[in-house]
């Protein structure tokens, strides 16, 4: 999973003429899901978003010392399949992005994880698959790109066992 994290003084998502979500100070996060992503990536990204230190310490003014959770700020997540693009000439190709229903389920899992780990009412999102207008007031500006690390075969097998309750198939008989 890939995220573009923007520290904001405010952000909102509009679909048509309707504001579907808005936040005050916090993070606006564009979330891309690749075809290879799974629950391990969700866990990694959720923890990173809630713990990354992008805010100054209130008492000292010292920069890069506190997270969203430290300051009880808000997070606005917006699904963004275009983060997993590659250019073929001058035309973008999105074949690396996870497709439709599967991506929506994994994105929903990320939102649930964030709400479970933090304060549910502080986690907002846009409307998956909709044409959205994202309005941000970038603070700083501070913008970072992060991506979940590649998983080993052992990590993938462990996840498979935990979700299916079965052991991986062996070619040795």
6-64 residue pLDDT tens: 999 999 999 999 999 999 999 999 999 999 999 999 999 999 999 999 999 989 999 99
- 156 assigned to some structural domain: yes
pLDDT at 156: 76
- 126 assigned to some structural domain: yes
- 170 assigned to some structural domain: no
The CATH number for 131's domain is 3.50.80.10
* Structural domain that includes position 92: 2-160
- The per-residue pLDDT of the chain, averaged, comes to 93
173: pLDDT strictly greater than 70: no
SS (HEC) of the chain: CEEEEEEEEEEEEEECCEEEEEECCEEEEEEECECCCCHHHHHHHHHHHHHCCCECCCCCCCCCCECHHHHCCEEEEEECHHHCCEEECCEEECCCECCHHHHHHHHHHHHHHHHHHCCHHHEEECCCCCCCEEEEEEEEEEEEEEECCCCCHHHHHHHHHHHHCCCCCCCCC
pLDDT at 166: 53
pLDDT above 90 coverage of the chain, percent? 85
pLDDT band at 162 (very low <50, low <70, confident <90, very high): confident
Domains in the chain, number: 1
- 40 assigned to some structural domain: yes
pLDDT band at 77 (very low <50, low <70, confident <90, very high): very high
172: pLDDT strictly greater than 60: no
pLDDT band at 81 (very low <50, low <70, confident <90, very high): very high
Q: What's the rounded Cα separation, in Å, for the pair 44 and 55?
A: 20
pLDDT digits (tens, 9 = 90+) for 99-113: 999 999 999 999 999
- 169 assigned to some structural domain: no
- 80 assigned to some structural domain: yes
- 51 assigned to some structural domain: yes
């Amino acid at each position: 999973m890939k995220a573009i994290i923007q520290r904001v003084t405010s952000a909102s998502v509009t679909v048509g003429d309707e504001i579907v979500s808005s936040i005050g100070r916090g993070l606006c996060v564009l979330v891309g899901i690749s075809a290879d992503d799974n629950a391990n990536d969700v866990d990694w990204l959720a923890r990173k978003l809630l713990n990354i230190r992008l805010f100054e310490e209130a008492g000292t003014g010292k920069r890069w010392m506190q997270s969203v959770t430290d300051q009880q700020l808000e997070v606005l997540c917006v699904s963004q399949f275009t983060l997993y693009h590659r250019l073929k000439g001058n035309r973008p190709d999105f074949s690396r992005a996870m497709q439709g229903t599967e991506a929506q389920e994994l994105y929903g899992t990320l939102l649930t994880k964030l709400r479970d780990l933090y304060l549910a009412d502080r986690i907002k999102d846009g409307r998956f698959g909709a044409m959205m207008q994202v309005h941000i007031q970038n603070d700083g500006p501070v913008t970072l790109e992060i991506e979940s690390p590649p998983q080993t075969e052992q990590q993938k097998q462990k996840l498979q066992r935990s979700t299916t309750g079965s052991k991986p198939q062996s070619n040795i008989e």
